[in-house]
Structure 1
Amino acid sequence: MFFDRNNNAAILLAGILALVVGVGVARFAFTSLLPSMLENHLSIAFAGVLASINYVGYLSGSIFSIFIKDIHAKVRFFRIGLALCVITSLLLAFTENNTLWLLSRLFAGFGAAMALVVGSAIVMSKLQNTNKTKAMGIHFSGLGFSILVSDLIMRGVFTYSANWQHAWLALAIAGAIFACYSGYILSFEKQSADQVIKHKFDKSLFTPLVIVLALAYFTEGVGMVVQATFLPDIVNSLPGLDGYGGYAWLAVGLAGIPSCIIWMRLAHKYNSIDIMIVAMALQVVGILIPTFSANIYLNLVSGILFGATFIGLVSLFMNYGGQLAGKNPVFIMGLITAAYGVGQVVAPLYCVALIAEFKNYNAALYLTAFIVCCGIFLLKYAQANLIAKPPIVNEA
């Protein structure tokens, strides 16, 4: 069953493992290992630059994905992306050269976009005879698994060795195994050239609703990346909480696993825009908790709220965008992810500047919370003005 390319369970497992490689190994492992690397190799300023350059790669991959025309090309670039995620992680295991690290994080970002954006579009296209909103909720639970699995691999290595380079090596090996399975399952039967369906660049999809959706997702990119990059160090920097940052990050992954399924079911029952607004409001609360409390339990709640919301919001925005695009889901998925990527590039840079100025994370967290609130107002505007309402029928 799990080696049948047309079996929904195999498709979802392959999609989840692709997210573990693209998002866990190529992105969130960096967050897990950041405290250790700050002690032995990195400065906080260079860490911020590496986070931004990773998202430059992610942004470029998201934009590139919009122009991939046929399904076999999507599969080809999806596999290239998985390979890049593994190779760039291996590079971090064997070198400390800053230039190579910058290049590594750049190409890891591109690979992550192929794994997330293109991989998710392939999963959506391959799923058969099922409620795709609920099924994609299961797929995007891979974002939570990506945090949990990469963090557990790191902890397993640190049980025997405190060397962060050994952790990168173990992550790359695990990623290679997962990538082989995902690359095999998420493919299509070969077709002759005249049978291949090619999707043209469709300007008509640039509706006001899609533009506002992209702007709102930009603000969520900002909200996501600050905690995704710095949360362990944020918690470690609070009075009396040094060493607890890893537990907060583990809470992020644990909360993220069921969150997609829960949020997507709520979206199916109610509507996507309302649920996005609720999730972003909860995220604002989680962002602000470290600014007013050094209580370990409240800061674990901050991690839980972050994991439960940012992962759910990725699935909500991506699924809603894919539905708006119809037969070519990668188009709007890529477009809104590009906006998300711009937010991810900008946020670490202003964070580093504010941390240097104020010697703590508070100002960066206040600004981030404000930007996410702007996203909530954008979604409210879209809901009130851009979504067609059913006609009112007057009953005699």
Structure 2
Amino acid sequence: MQGNLKWLVNNNHRAELGIHFAGAGISIVVTSLLVQSMLATNSNWQQQWIALAILAAIIAIPAWRWMPHPSAHGQVKVTKKANPPSKTFKLLMMLAYFCAGYGYAVSSTFIVDIVERVEGLKGQGSIAFLLVGLAATPATLIWDSIARRTGFIKALIAAYTLLLIGIILPAISDTLPVIIISTLLFGGTFIACVSLVLTMAGNFYPSNPARSMGTMTLAYGDAQIIAPIPSGCLLEYFGNYNMALYLSAFIVMIGTWFLFGLLKKPLL
């Protein structure tokens, strides 16, 4: 990601990662369609895994060839000076990003099973995942545009708010329209949160964006490791995902509060 960000800056493009993360949405769409086609032919999970591995290997070839080389060869040195935030700003941003990672992990891990457990929707879990991908693909570019007008923090507050609504909706109602809205809201925000945070973090250190992006990714990754544990325990105890979704939405809400705190803190 840092290589992509530097390449964009060096080639007179906007320092935004929306175009990069749009690929994640496309991959969700493609894999969902592949899985659905294999389910139609009664393929077992081992065959599905092999097919997905082959697809990943094929796509990796052009991705590897087109990826900007990390070496300095052919690159223009970024002359924009670093604009590091204060320690308080970085701490609040890390905590907010951790909360987003928690919300992402719960919904992305269990969204298919949540749909499969709804009476009348059994067998539709892969379609829900497809809707997530369809919403995610253009979302990162749209949120880039929003952030240009409002600033990163205000855009993130809006994205976090919609994300927590998408997370909590299936716990409130398990009807088909609500599930559809939930998947679209989730898909339209979770990758956007990642894109906006990492773009902002990278812009603090234009010549070495990995310095800040890596720290943020660590916070997000820790949340992804932690989140499934309490969620699984709550599922086992209550027999459904409702309490896990409520907890996940509440944690994202806490992340939103941290973001509101950033509006009152000077950057430096």
Normalized against structure 2, the TM-score is what?
0.90
Shift of 1:190: 6.4
2:171 is matched with 291
Moved over 4 A (4+): 189-192
**1:132 alignment partner, SS class:** coil
Distance 1:189 1:125, change over 3 A: closer
Change over 3 Å in CA distance of 1:276–1:139 after alignment to 2:
same
Letter in 2 for 1:152: L
Matched with 1:171 is: 52
1:148 aligns with 2:29: yes
Task: Tell me if structure 1 keeps the 8 A contact 2:3–2:69.
Answer: no
CA-based RMSD: 2.1
Report sequence identity in percent.
37
1:8-60 CA distance string (max 9 Å, x none): xxxxxxxxxxxxxxxxxxxxxxxxxxxxxxxxxxxxxxxxxxxxxxxxxxxxx
Deviation at 1:327, TM superposition (A): 1.1
Letter in 2 for 1:345: I
Give the secondary structure class of the aligned counterpart of 1:331. helix
- Per-residue deviation at 1:322? 0.7
TM-score for both structures, normalised by structure 1: 0.62
Rounded Cα–Cα distance in structure 2 between residues aligned with 1:138 and 1:162: 34
Query: Which one has the largest radius of gyration?
Result: 1
How far apart, CA to CA, are the structure 1 residues paired with 2:200 and 2:152?
Answer: 7
Contact persistence 1:205–1:325 (CA under 8 A): no
Amino acid at match of 1:157: M
Amino acid at match of 2:7: K
Structure 1 counterpart of 2:91: 211
Q: Distance in 2 between matches of 1:121 and 1:222?
A: 23
How many pairs align?
259
Structure 1 pair 235–188 and aligned structure 2 pair: CA distance change class (3 A):
closer
Per-residue deviation at 1:284? 1.1
- Aligned mate of 1:374, from 241, 248, 254: 254
1:121 paired to 2:2: yes
Where does 1:76-155 land on structure 2 (aligned, <5 Å)? 120-127=1-8, 128-133=11-16, 136-155=17-36
Confirm or deny: 8 A CA contact 1:247 1:300 kept in the other structure: no
Runs (5+) with no aligned partner, structure 2: none
Residues 190 and 380 from structure 1, CA distance in 2 versus in 1: closer, same or farther, beyond 3 angstroms?
closer
Q: Does 1:303 align with 2:186?
A: no
Moved more, 152-161 or 230-239: 152-161
Preserved contact between residue 18 and residue 141 of structure 2 (Cα < 8 Å): yes
Q: Choose from 162, 166, 169 the match for 1:282.
A: 162
For each residue in 1:249-275, what CA deviation from the matched residue of structure 2 results, as whole angstroms up to 9, or x when unmatched?
111000000000000110012111001
Q: How does 1:342-353 map to 2 (within 5 A)?
A: 342-353=222-233
Bigger relative CO (Cα 8 Å, ≥ 6 apart): 2
Matched residue, 2:61:
180
Secondary structure of the corresponding residue to residue 291 of structure 1: helix
Q: 1:158 offset after TM fit, Å?
A: 2.6
Amino acid at match of 2:175: N
Contact 2:106–2:227, Cα closer than 8 Å, also in 1: yes
Contact 1:351 1:364 in 2 (8 A): yes
Answer yes or no: is the 8 Å Cα contact 1:240–1:294 preserved in 2: no
Moved more, 168-177 or 220-229: 168-177
Equivalent position amino acid for 1:131 in 2: R
Alignment of 1:246-265 (within 5 A): 246-265=126-145
The Cα of 1:132 is off from its aligned counterpart by: 2.3
1:357 corresponding residue in structure 2: 237
Amino acid paired to 1:139:
H
The residue type paired with residue 181 of structure 1 is: P
Matches within 5 A, 1:377-392: 377-387=257-267
Distance 2:124 2:59 in 1: 30
Q: 2:124 aligns with which of 235, 244, 247?
A: 244
Counterpart CA distance in 2 for 1:250 and 1:324 is 35
Q: Which residue of 2 aligns with 1:74?
A: none
On the 8 A contact 2:139/2:189 being kept in 1, the answer is yes
Residue identity matched to 1:132: A
The whole-number CA distance in structure 2 between the counterparts of 1:341 and 1:328 is 21
Q: Which stretch has the larger CA shift, 165-174 or 272-281? A: 165-174
| 1:208–1:386 Cα contact (<8 Å) kept | no
